Structure 1
Amino acid sequence: MVSFIGRRLCQALFVLLIISVVSFVIQDNLGDPVRQMVGQSVSLQERAALQQELGLNDPLLQQYGRFLMGALQGDLGMSYYYKQPTLDVIVSRLPATLELSFCALLLVIILATPLGVIAAIHPKSLLSRAVLFISTLGLSIPIFIVAVFLMYFFAIEWRVLPSFGRGETTSFLGLWQTGLFNKDGLRHLLLPSFSLAFVLTPIFIRLIRAEMQDVLQSDFIRYAWSKGISAPRIYFLHALKNTMLPVITVGGIQAGTLVAYTILTESIFQWPGMGLLFMEAVTRVDVPLISAYLMVVGVIFVVTNTLVDVVYSMVNPRVRIPGYSA
């Protein structure tokens, strides 16, 4: 177990190192940082002096070493636009993205679990066929089209939900502002959450359906039927419980993927999270903020995937057997 966790941690550190190289290359090649900082009115001599002061004339390897040391200390540079440390800017937007991702995952669980179970229990019924058709549709339609349609009908045509912004927020334990505890915040949260959930729900419906159909053919399920256990208990306790392991694994990975998916959703609904911040940074050519965003998102992905691997290895020891693929 210790060696397995050690291997996973080494792999995670290697991936983080690759991400830092990519972030540094982007920061080093997207425009002239001196020009972004001082504009056009500064003389060439002053620009050269500032370039020397910032260490931009140093060898590339030395610059990367300085960048890596700063990243290890939580220093990812200063934003050109906000004139603040990039990490502080990103952390200020992180709660909004986490809130949106959490609500989207909650909707996925509420919708996908019963629909996946129904599709597995009655695979040839009209309802199951309709569920599979809708899930195929969900996998085929890009998220921005779903978001635009939801906005058009619910915000423009029917005018029942707001089309942009985060709405009213309240303080949660004095740590961050959230809209989860008031009506206006929840109304603003519905459309972007459903947009994200619409993309992820079909994946989980099909996964639950496939896994549960396999479990229903198992010997212990046949034994449960022979003992006269009720159908709801067999389906929702014995079968569903043994289906959840791969579902939880994929869910943990998708939780990290949501951070990337929120870029389009937040841009369309003007949700003030990390995704919208990244798009604004690209528009403003705020290179340090772009680089810092890639680092933070990379860390979220790596940490999430590593935790999923470790938890899976605790629940299912076979993943630690040499040559076994988890």
Structure 2
Amino acid sequence: MLSFVLRRLLQAVLVLLTISFASFMIQGKLGDPVRQMVGTSVSVEQREALRDELGLNDPTLVQYGRFLGQALQGDLGTSYYYKESTLTVIANRLPATLELSFCALVLVIVMATPLGVFAAINPKNWLSRSILLFSTLGLSIPIFIVAVFLMYFFAIEWRLLPSFGRGDTTQVLGLWQSGLFNKDGLMHLLLPSVSLAFVMTPIFIRLIRAEMIDVLQSDYIRFAWSKGISAPRIYFIHALKNTMLPVITVGGIQTGTLIAYTILTESIFQWPGMGFLFMDAVTRVDAPLISAYLIVVGLIFVVTNTLVDVVYGLVNPRVRIPGYSA
């Protein structure tokens, strides 16, 4: 088990190094940082002096080494627009994005699990066919169309829910602001989290259904039926538990993807999270903030996937066997 964990950690480090190098290279291609800092009123000689002072004339690998050293110390640069540490700017927006992703993930689990199980147990039922049709439509419709339709009907046409912003927030343990603990915050959270969940739910419905059908045809399930074990116990204890193993893996990957999907959702609903911040940074060509965002999101992906690999290795020992592909 220790060698399995160390191997996964080594892979995670290599991926993070790749992400950091790509982010560093992107940062250098988004314009001249000296021009961003001093404008056009400074002479060419003064600009060159500032470039030398900032080390921008050094070889690329030297600059990357310096960038990586600063990143390891928690310094990913200073935002051109906000005039403060990029990590501080991102940390101020991170709770809003995590809150939105968490609520969307809860909705996905609540909706996908019973629908996927029902479709597997009753594959020829008209309702099961309707569930599969819904999942197909969900995979085909882009997230921004879902968001726009929800906003139009629930916020503009029927005036039931707010269409933008985060609403009132409550201080939680003196650490972050959350909208989960008051009515206004929950009302503002509903539309963006539902639109985000709508895109992810069909994937899990189809996955749970396919895995459940496969498990129900296995020998130990037939043996359970022959022993006279009740149907609910077979379906929800024996079968569903083993169905969840691959769902854990896909769920971990999709949790990271959820962070990326929030860019469109947050932009449409003006949700003050990391995705909305990233779009603002792109508009303002705030290179350090763009680079820091890519590294933070990459770190979330890598940490999530590594944890999922380790958890899956604990649940299913076969993935720790050399040569076995998880």
User: TM-score, normalization: structure 1?
Assistant: 0.98
Q: Distance in 2 between matches of 1:56 and 1:31?
A: 12
> Aligned AA for 1:170?
T
How far residue 219 of structure 1 moved from its aligned partner, in angstroms, is 2.0
Q: Distance in 2 between matches of 1:285 and 1:145?
A: 27
Q: Distance in 1 between matches of 2:154 and 2:28?
A: 44
Aligned to 2:290: 290
| CA deviation profile, 1:160-193 (whole Å, cap 9, x unmatched) | 0010000000011111000000000000001110
Aligned to 2:307: 307
- Identity of matched residues, %: 81
Q: Distance in 1 between matches of 2:196 and 2:69?
A: 36
Aligned to 1:211: 211
> Aligned AA for 1:61?
L
How far residue 45 of structure 1 moved from its aligned partner, in angstroms, is 2.4
How far residue 225 of structure 1 moved from its aligned partner, in angstroms, is 1.8
How far residue 321 of structure 1 moved from its aligned partner, in angstroms, is 1.4
**Count of equivalent residues:** 326
Give secondary structure in 1 for the equivalent of 2:152.
Answer: helix
| CA deviation profile, 1:91-137 (whole Å, cap 9, x unmatched) | 11000000000000000000000000110000011000000000000
| CA deviation profile, 1:36-62 (whole Å, cap 9, x unmatched) | 111122222222221111111112111
- 5+ residue gaps in structure 2? none
Q: Distance in 2 between matches of 1:203 and 1:276?
A: 25
Aligned to 2:91: 91
How far residue 229 of structure 1 moved from its aligned partner, in angstroms, is 2.2
How far residue 215 of structure 1 moved from its aligned partner, in angstroms, is 1.1
Q: Distance in 1 between matches of 2:238 and 2:88?
A: 47
Q: Distance in 2 between matches of 1:12 and 1:98?
A: 22
How far residue 218 of structure 1 moved from its aligned partner, in angstroms, is 1.7
Aligned to 2:269: 269
Aligned to 1:137: 137
Aligned to 2:237: 237
Aligned to 2:107: 107
Aligned to 2:125: 125
How far residue 227 of structure 1 moved from its aligned partner, in angstroms, is 2.5
> Aligned AA for 2:172?
F
Q: Which runs of 4+ in 1 moved over 6 A?
A: none
| Range with bigger deviation, 45-54 or 124-133 | 45-54
| CA deviation profile, 1:238-276 (whole Å, cap 9, x unmatched) | 211121111122111111111111000000001000000
Give secondary structure in 2 for the equivalent of 1:41.
Answer: coil
> Aligned AA for 1:215?
V
> Aligned AA for 1:16?
L
Give secondary structure in 1 for the equivalent of 2:177.
Answer: strand
